[in-house]
Structure 1
């Protein structure tokens, strides 16, 4: 048996007793059972289109070819994409259709293939990338994740992903427990980030185009009332990885209806809160990275999940 086919078959077998993410729910997703991610082994996607609102070196002028998958193993209570995270929106597609979507995005001029919330579909994505590459896909692949990953799952992606785009949401286990029911988030985020950097090495930017070719960009979303947590995340990233990675400090937190009663999450991040985090990063020696200026918390960061690019 071809080694690639054998590896793909092994990967798919994980879904019989699913342990892809740190939840280790052991659902038989191949048998139709839904895991903690809300999904079976059938791929469900809600949008595939050129996306302009990523970091400049990912979106560029053409746009990133973003595929938004339904379901999520993280389940943050403040999620701005909660309709798809909770599997309320999306359409079932085959692995073959996913490979076609990658090629269609390439045909539209996408700067890269951007896999958004992909963790629970890693085996299927690997197979789709194999098919698409044989059919001519040659774009960089971006793995856009919550950061709540097992390093073993990230290892499966070695050779398939060029750019990792993880969040690093929490350094405080108590906060991770309160907002995402994941007190082990910091330890998994640290371990998976280490594996991502092992695979990609230092950041590689095309000097002519300004587009990232390989490397890791770590995102941190500042949450209202939690400057201390943000400082702890930034401190860890800068002291551990220095200039090996780029850090994107975001102030686009958008209060959603489901947190309307929460005294902190029901409001936006204040200008002063965000400035405190940025000032702290500069004090620690951050020289390169991304910040958001002005009013970033707006609807443009939340696309319509209307099955665009998925097919009827």
Structure 2
């Protein structure tokens, strides 16, 4: 299945999207914080990102879901800064402290092409939301030079639907991490007002665009939605609400990865309820819960 962005390249729509997204940067509303700062002049809002994207690292990644990794790995690009301030962030050096180097869209396009030449099955954009204009411009440049593998939008789920609509036909695989099934919990642990209400609308839009997860003849994902959910101790993430939403409101073949790797990172020890790992019993309880809801569970 050919990536959709190649069709937009042929029609000229991909270039038009770049122009529209550049306009958004002048009064930034890329994410739900809606800071309205002029990032085209270097002003910074909640996320901490400026005009140019900051890349912490890139390369073939073999620790992602099997449907993304395949034989040669997922071509992962880790962007610095973030639209959330999760107190338990396991990548806080990147997301909160901005470690990495600024790159131009031209340099970012070269990274994408390098990953394709190394045999990666996809371009996996980790925490891309606040850099969408530069990313789409890089995709335009790279596609003109031969990029032809799927794009994975690896996000916290805290997205503006308006931004997602400008990505329609560009992103092949949406991979939102639905972190919390409660607005107040999202505000407390991630400084994300209205987190669950906003994320539900965003994921519904993702599902509308690309539907459930689809695999190629080699069993590698080529299109669709893959949802991640990190289980927290004592059901602090309201996992039941997250899984019920997926079961009731999304396509039945949307893939779900229930993750058990929580550990108290960053500022988690400041919250007694977050100061331990989850137990094996907790993980298997939620795994059984998901199976009862007949979710498409993967690892």
State the secondary structure of the residue aligned to 1:109: coil
* Contact 2:89–2:266 (Cα < 8 Å) also in 1: no
State the secondary structure of the residue aligned to 1:142: strand
Aligned equivalents of 2:169 and 2:195: distance in 1?
Answer: 25
Whether 2:276 is the aligned partner of 1:267: answer: yes
List per-residue Cα deviations over 1:155-187 (Å, max 9, x = no partner). 111111110000111111121111012231111
* Contact 1:39–1:87 (Cα < 8 Å) also in 2: no
How far off its partner does 1:197 sit? 1.2
* Contact 2:87–2:266 (Cα < 8 Å) also in 1: no
List per-residue Cα deviations over 1:220-274 (Å, max 9, x = no partner). 1101121670111111101222523011111111211422232122211111111
Under a length normalisation based on structure 1, what TM-score does the superposition of the two structures give?
0.89
- List runs of 5+ in structure 2 lacking aligned partners: 1-11
Q: After the TM superposition, list the runs of 4 or more consecutive aligned residues in structure 1 that deviate by more than 3 angstroms.
A: 2-7
Under a length normalisation based on structure 2, what TM-score does the superposition of the two structures give?
0.92
* Contact 2:204–2:250 (Cα < 8 Å) also in 1: no
* Contact 1:218–1:245 (Cα < 8 Å) also in 2: yes
1:122: which partner in 2? Answer: 132
Aligned equivalents of 1:135 and 1:162: distance in 2?
Answer: 19
Whether 2:77 is the aligned partner of 1:67: answer: yes
User: Cα gap change, 1:280/1:227 in structure 2, threshold over 3 Å: closer, same or farther?
Assistant: farther
User: Cα gap change, 1:87/1:42 in structure 2, threshold over 3 Å: closer, same or farther?
Assistant: farther
Of 194, 197, 200 in structure 2, the residue corresponding to residue 184 of structure 1 is 194
List per-residue Cα deviations over 1:273-307 (Å, max 9, x = no partner). 11111111122223x3225xxxxxxxxxxxxxxxx
User: Cα gap change, 1:231/1:9 in structure 2, threshold over 3 Å: closer, same or farther?
Assistant: same
1:150: which partner in 2? Answer: 160
Q: How does 1:49-60 map to 2 (within 5 A)?
A: 49-60=59-70
- How many residues are treated as equivalent by the alignment? 288
1:290: which partner in 2? Answer: 298
List per-residue Cα deviations over 1:55-89 (Å, max 9, x = no partner). 10001121100000011011111111111112430
How far off its partner does 1:7 sit? 3.4
